[in-house]
A and B are shown apart, each in its own frame.
Chain A
Amino acid sequence: MTTYAPTPISATKRSFTAALCLSAAMLMGGSALAAGASDTDTERLERWQDIAKSIFGDRIIEPTDALIKVDAPPRALDASLVPITLMMPEKDRIAAVHLIIDDNPSPYAAHITFGPAADPSEVKLRVRINNYTNVHAVAETKDGKLYEAVKFVKASGGCSAPMGMSDEEALKGAGDMKMKFAEGGQGKPTEATLMVRHPNFSGMQMNQITRDYTPARYINKLDVSSNGKLVFSMNGDISIASNPVINFALAPDAKGPIKVVATDNQQSRWEHSFNTPTPSN
């Protein structure tokens, strides 16, 4: 563990190269790879193409610097709790985002669809990362087009990392929720942070004593609405970190109580309501 030397340049270069390769490959109809790419770049690009095809079929995904950006620490402190920020500056054009962690065995981490009560300019969530990987964010615009951004993240072992407590203990209070608000001021979106207590067992975590794998149990759907209007709906996966936390923003005109409905893959369902802060100015 003494050999860690930060190499942010190569990390940046790598994801940049991957993005370049991708755009080049797409210009050539996806059949050829850019010359000069290393074996690893080629391998990573091919994997992304396989994943993209399994999720989006033959739909074209264009690279973008404007419609979506993905940010994450280049080297994560805890691979089972990696903060990801998705930024969609042209928020009025955004219908949905997809988060894909290329090298996770289950790469499709989240699909978030925004509703009329959302301000989709920024979403933050925490994920598990299994290996040094490209993280792809794909924005879906209201006219049905797909745009992608990529970031290389160094983290390892996040999907199988045990929680350090018994399964029963980890499940205690599952479905409890909290929500915090940070008011943006007059006419600005209200930022909200939703915290859900749930171990989000990945099914890849081995109980170190019994050597059994803890069965997968994770939040697979999260619906948030404001006064009956959809803020967002998220399809989640085992790549979402335990005790999911998601930051999002409400449209300035979104009023009334926020309702959250969460379900997990074991058919448990939880529903909570939160009052939005009353405007103070």
Chain B
Amino acid sequence: MIRSIGAASIALAILSGAPAWAASPADSPVNVPEPEGFWTGPPKAYTPKTLTGATVVDIDALDKLVAAEKPVMIDVAMADQKPVGFPTDRPWLPAHRSIPGSVWMPGAGAAPMAPAREAQFLARVADLTGGDKTKPVVTFCHPECWGSWNAGKRLLQNGYTRVYWFADGVEGWQDRHDTTILKVDAAWAAKPAGEAQR
């Protein structure tokens, strides 16, 4: 008993130290703390086991959710970067494989994010959920990718009550199921309102 109290106080001490580390990546996947707000550190780094307010799902739980309720699936994985100066005589054919039926909004987990872009994201999710903030929404990208954590956080902050974070992402899915090549969501690919002239 005494020992467990000791462990708890150590855990508390670690948690209270968390803000100081908020933007530097954890050096171990064990007990990665949740940042207070969005994660603004390196986009690819160890992620926490939790997202307070959301349900973290593995592939079993996701399969059940998909079968039962057809959640809105949002993939925020970054698009492949075409190398500058890539030779013109070789094929460049990026193909983003993802969970069939998902909506791909690359970079939607970025933080900080320009207010116009954030509004565009929220408007698109409102559209996908039919304005129902109790509809289940799943965010994902890749393992050790903070984008989907941030996207889930963004939805929680904006009143969505059933946010699911699928931390294993496309890799967790393709281990069991087929993937399909997705194009960037057309509404997300468009420039945010107010930037049309640029």
Give A contacts to B, CB under 8 Å. Answer: 1-5, 7, 38-40, 43, 47, 50-51, 54-55, 103, 105-108, 130-132, 154, 156-157, 159-160, 162, 202-204, 206, 208-209, 211, 213, 215-216, 220, 237-238, 265
Are the C-beta atoms of A209 and B42 separated by less than 8 Å? yes
Are the C-beta atoms of A4 and B175 separated by less than 8 Å? yes
Number of inter-chain CB pairs below 8 Å: 105
Q: Please measure, in the bound complex, the distance between the C-alpha atom of A54 and the C-alpha atom of B88, giving whole angstroms.
A: 12
Mostly, the A contact residues are loop
Q: With A39-B180, A203-B83, A208-B25 as known contacts, state yes or no: A47 contacts B95, CB within 8 Å.
A: yes
Stretch at the interface among B151-159, B165-173, B187-195: B165-173
Tell me which residues across on chain B come within 8 A of A159, comparing CB atoms: 80
Are the C-beta atoms of A208 and B83 separated by less than 8 Å? no
B71 to chain A, nearest CB (A): 18
Mostly, the B contact residues are loop
Q: With A107-B93, A132-B97, A237-B90 as known contacts, state yes or no: A3 contacts B59, CB within 8 Å.
A: yes
Q: Please measure, in the bound complex, the distance between the C-alpha atom of A47 and the C-alpha atom of B93, giving whole angstroms.
A: 9
Q: Which of B59, B83, B93 has the most CB of A within 10 A?
A: B83
A83 to chain B, nearest CB (A): 20
Are the C-beta atoms of A105 and B93 separated by less than 8 Å? yes
Q: Please measure, in the bound complex, the distance between the C-alpha atom of A211 and the C-alpha atom of B81, giving whole angstroms.
A: 12
B27 within 8 A of A: no
Q: With A3-B59, A160-B80 as known contacts, state yes or no: A39 contacts B178, CB within 8 Å.
A: yes
Are the C-beta atoms of B175 and A5 separated by less than 8 Å? yes
B39 to chain A, nearest CB (A): 12
Q: Please measure, in the bound complex, the distance between the C-alpha atom of A216 and the C-alpha atom of B84, giving whole angstroms.
A: 7
Q: With A130-B80, A202-B83, A208-B25 as known contacts, state yes or no: A54 contacts B91, CB within 8 Å.
A: yes
